[in-house]
Amino acid sequence: MDWKDKVILVTGGTGSFGKKCIKILLQEYHPAKIIVFSRDELKQHEMRVAGYEHPSLRYFIGDVRDLDRMRRALQGVNVVVHAAALKQVPACEYNPMEAIKTNILGSSNVIDAALDAGVSRVIALSTDKAVNPVNLYGATKLAAEKLFVQSNAYAGGKTTRFACVRYGNVVGSRGSVVPVFLKQRNSGKLTITDERMTRFWISLEQGVRFVIRCVEQMQGGEVFVPKIPSMTVTDLARAVAPEAAVEVIGIRPGEKLHEVLISDDEARTTVELEDMFVVQPAEALWFGHGWENLGKSLPDGFRYASNENADWLSTEQIQRIIAPIENAYEQGTLE
């Protein structure tokens, strides 16, 4: 896929993922145009001030909840990376309809506008919390995944294709536990919800590069899952503040002990490749099944869970991963 003649729109373009994605695309792929689509004029201004000024960049104020605005934004666009979402679990629990309007109805608007505008490829960001969800955020992302996969049936003779990328927690992203631990470190005490808790982890750059690769390889209807390591929350706390006391405050509503990236039911239609899994559409109505001969099937009962992972990060590895985040935090440049 040649990016140089492509027009790309990133919803949620002022967020942690959006900014990193735009930076890498500009520096390495040189697309004809990148449209930063977001609803906050202040964040767009702050992006410009931070150096995101480029002849290929366009700043477009709009909300994924607004179908007419979405249709206007997608005129002439070739690729959409849908990263806009309400993702804070407590905020989604307290404001359920707001989460539904953005994460579900907003995704539906992206799909409808992309079909109308003839966008070639649309990829949505999902989360491990969409698998067997126990909170509203996970439920909305599960619904968004289903919308994106099934909407390939509406493409008909058009070239528009939809796919999803699903991965775990992004180290140091907005709302991540790492900045919370860094702030608590000064008090000498860190709070965790449960000592047994495990999570999948991926760096922001790894996430962006995986999404770009999936845009290039997608056929339509897949959910792409990278193979990523797990860590325990207690190891993370020790890596951030080895000398600090740790207080266990109890698991919060809507929180899991362990996360799952592929359920045992999904595993039946999943293909394993060297560094990722591809969840193919359960129904064979259209496309997305071309991966069967490129990898291997998974055994019965397989599931990809953070506590059953073969790849674990040591405290030393965690310290190396969070070092840039610590530096940014100390310099006051952490986003």
Strand locations in the chain, DSSP E?
Answer: 7-11, 33-38, 57-61, 79-82, 121-127, 161-167, 169-170, 189-192, 198-202, 223-226, 230-232, 245-248, 260-262, 270-272, 276-279, 296-297, 304-305
Q: pLDDT truncated to tens, each residue of the chain (335 aa)?
A: 899 999 999 999 999 999 999 999 999 999 999 999 999 999 999 999 999 999 999 999 999 999 999 999 999 999 999 999 999 888 999 999 999 999 999 999 999 999 999 999 999 999 999 999 999 999 999 999 999 999 998 887 788 999 999 999 888 776 678 888 988 998 999 999 999 999 999 999 999 999 999 999 999 999 999 999 999 999 999 999 998 999 999 988 888 999 999 999 999 999 999 999 999 988 765 666 778 888 999 999 999 999 999 999 999 999 998 888 888 878 777 66
DSSP 131: S
- Say which residues have a Cβ less than 8 Å from residue 156's Cβ, sequence separation at least 6: none
Residue 224 pairs in a beta bridge with 165, 278
| Best CA proximity match to 172, nearest among 124, 239, 113, 103 | 239
Residue type, 268: R
Catalytic residues: 129
Cα separation, 291 vs 204, whole angstroms: 26
List the domain boundaries for the chain.
Answer: 3-168+202-227+260-305
208, 125 in Cβ contact below 8 A? Answer: no
CATH code: domain 3-168+202-227+260-305 is 3.40.50.720
Residue 221: count other Cβ atoms within 10 Å of its Cβ.
27
